[in-house]
Amino acid sequence: MNRSWIQAPRISDEYEKGVEDFLKFAQQHAPAVGGKYFCPCVNCVNGRHQALVVIRSHLICDGFIRSYTNWIWHGELPEVSLPADNEAVPLETGDRMEDMIRDLGQEGYLEAHVPYYEDLETDSKLPLYLGCTTFTRLSAVLALVNLKARFGWSDKILTELLVLLKNMLPNDNKLPNSHYEAKKILCPVGLEYKKIHACRNDCVLYRKEFVELRNCPTCGVSRYKQNDGEYTNDVASSNPRPAKVCWYLPIIPRFKRLFATTHDASNLKWHAVDRINDGFLRHPADSPQWKTIDHLYPEFGAEPRNLRLGLASDGMNPFGNLSTNHSSWPVSLMIYNLPPSLCMKRKYIMLSMMISGPRQPGNDIDVYLTPLIEDMCKLWVDMVDVYDANQGETFRLHAMIFCTINDFPTYGNLSGYSVKGHQAYPICEQNTSFIQLKHGKKTIYTRHRRFLKHYHPYRRLKKAFNGSQETEEPPEPLAHHEVYDRVKDIVTVFGKTQRKDHANKNIWKKRSVFFDLPYWTNLDVRHCLNIMHVEKNVCDSLLDTLLNIKGKTKDGLKCRQDLVNMGIRE
């Protein structure tokens, strides 16, 4: 059946006829579940069962998965053997295992981007049994593991199936005997990770010069703990457990894998090739900071494949119980070279680090970010040779952290600025306008009308605000070099047991580890606030007050007393 209609515009007659032919094919060949079939639209990606009428609507309105040309989920026989050329395996259902199958088929992928690829190369050419032309050992294992992930089979079910299939096939077949052996075959395909021991007080990571130490060089606490939870210096036990662990997933091999896939390598140039450049702000590439970087570092900006990354981190409770005293911190990277439709897709959000709990790192997060920052420095200064499968060439890759995205408390942890107290507003710093409430005992920040345009009518209103007009101009935000001058001489000793010297009342608590990046001082916007938190908090406060929700409204007795005390309301 002709599949070219998948690439046609959705408003064309060719596409509409192709949809009808596909629905007839699915109705005739695919097994129905309660009269419903897998929906191959770009949103469902064969992950949901829908009625034919709904599938027709989805395909017309949303589109058909363009890479889904072998309709295995709609009655066609699967084709998962690896191609000899750089032709991608025509298999797509939104499952990551199929992404792996397709990636392994890319020319040069195994050699350049998979550790110990020789074993995989052998398995990818070894017939499943003598005379078999359909499956290799690797493709058969990939297909079976894919089915396991697709339908939620247990390890035991896959082992039983492998034993059954092995008995059905000729005696010389190369199928593994168990799920464990299948995983060993696929193990080299997986990405490496580093398990780094850390001081339980967040003083140091046991790496480099500290890798052999048994006690923290800062606080002296033991690196290990016993089964009963007590900390011990006895490392002669059979399996000493580290007191705290940081999991680091090196980013350079992952960037290499992105460029080793033709489709992804093409998308990584979207911001320079396919972006609509009409002066409107639709993407970080339209921002002044993007253009400033191109101006300051023309060699970096001249190569559209160089990566600009957003870094996000926040505390989370992996146990799902908000009352549990535990806080683990994932550190994720977003790739801003990609189009907006892909930037925030789960497939392209890279988990680079997991800082295990139970206590949040706070200002000591710099200790854990060090491995990531070192790799980012290498990508900026030394660069890395990367194979581009789209253009069929090797190039020198640069990468940089464009900004961080976080809520306000994490803003303080990453930047080193104190976001509590009377000067908690980073833009105004010393010029923050605040009032300490007499009855509510809170610090509030006022005079926001300073940031309006000079002739804005709100500046002249009195009764609606604090009884006076606003005539002052907004304070000038700190320039990038001014921020660096404030933090460059701060000496910080990390760790929860270390006493902090606050005698100078400096609102900058540390020199952030991000200043180790050569370009960080020249960025105008280094840390961004997550609009979700701002929007949610403001919306919650407004709705709770307007609806007078008990226990959540801001309109209480103390609030009204403070309004009287400030002369705003009677």
Region 5-16 average pLDDT: 88
DSSP-derived 3-state class of residue 72: helix
Region 40-51 average pLDDT: 84
Quote the CA–CA distance of 544 and 258 in Å, as a whole number: 46
What does the DSSP 8-state code read for residue 23? Answer: H
Question: Is the Cβ–Cβ distance between 39 and 49 less than 8 Å?
Answer: yes
Quote the CA–CA distance of 124 and 105 in Å, as a whole number: 10
Which amino acid is present at 108?
A: G
Quote the CA–CA distance of 413 and 331 in Å, as a whole number: 13
Query: Does residue 398 surpass a pLDDT of 90?
Result: yes
Higher pLDDT, 78 or 353: 353
Reading the block at residue 273, the tokens are: 């090739």
Q: What is the pLDDT of residue 499?
A: 60
Which amino acid is present at 471?
A: T
Q: What is the pLDDT of residue 73?
A: 78
Region 483-488 average pLDDT: 89
Q: What is the pLDDT of residue 357?
A: 80
Region 322-326 average pLDDT: 68
Q: What is the pLDDT of residue 150?
A: 76
Which amino acid is present at 124?
A: S
**What pLDDT band is residue 316 in, cutting at 50, 70 and 90?**
confident
Global confidence as pTM: 0.71
Which range scores top for mean pLDDT: 89-103, 159-173, 230-244?
A: 159-173
> Minimal CA–CA distance to 221: which of 443, 496, 459, 510?
496
Q: What is the pLDDT of residue 503?
A: 45
Q: What is the pLDDT of residue 232?
A: 52
List the single range of 245-249, 256-260, 371-375, 410-414 with lowest mean pLDDT: 256-260
Query: Does residue 352 surpass a pLDDT of 80?
Result: yes
Rounded to 5, what percent of the chain is helix, strand, coil?
Answer: 40, 15, 45
Quote the CA–CA distance of 28 and 401 in Å, as a whole number: 52
Question: Is the Cβ–Cβ distance between 80 and 139 less than 8 Å?
Answer: yes
On the 0-12 / 13-18 / 19+ scale of CB atoms within 10 A, 265 is: buried
Task: Show the 3-state SS of 264-330.
Answer: HHHHCCHHHHCCCCCCCCCCHHHCHHHHHHHHHCHHHHHCCCCEEEEEEECCECCCCCCCCCCCEEE
Quote the CA–CA distance of 511 and 149 in Å, as a whole number: 45
Beta strands 434-436 and 384-388, pairing class = unpaired
For the stretch 87-130, pLDDT in tens is 333 333 334 444 555 555 454 455 544 554 455 567 667 888 88
List the single range of 188-202, 273-287, 441-455 with lowest mean pLDDT: 188-202
Instruction: Work out the percent of the chain whose per-residue pLDDT is above 90.
Output: 31
Query: Does residue 268 surpass a pLDDT of 90?
Result: yes
Query: Does residue 80 surpass a pLDDT of 50?
Result: no
Quote the CA–CA distance of 137 and 181 in Å, as a whole number: 12
Question: Is the Cβ–Cβ distance between 511 and 492 less than 8 Å?
Answer: yes
Which range scores top for mean pLDDT: 183-197, 297-311, 529-543?
A: 297-311
DSSP structure string for 112-180 = HHSTTHHHHHHHHHSBSSTT--S-BHHHHHHHHHHHHHHHT--HHHHHHHHHHHHHHS-TT----SSHH
Reading the block at residue 496, the tokens are: 């929860």
For the stretch 388-397, pLDDT in tens is 988 989 999 9
> Minimal CA–CA distance to 328: which of 342, 336, 313, 318?
318
> Minimal CA–CA distance to 329: which of 370, 290, 359, 299?
359
Region 188-200 average pLDDT: 82
Region 542-566 average pLDDT: 90
Region 187-214 average pLDDT: 86
Region 502-521 average pLDDT: 84
> Minimal CA–CA distance to 59: which of 3, 11, 2, 4?
11
Region 505-510 average pLDDT: 83
Q: What is the pLDDT of residue 367?
A: 94
**What pLDDT band is residue 228 in, cutting at 50, 70 and 90?**
low
Query: Does residue 375 surpass a pLDDT of 60?
Result: yes
On the 0-12 / 13-18 / 19+ scale of CB atoms within 10 A, 150 is: middle
Higher pLDDT, 415 or 86: 415
**What pLDDT band is residue 512 in, cutting at 50, 70 and 90?**
very high
Query: Does residue 155 surpass a pLDDT of 90?
Result: no
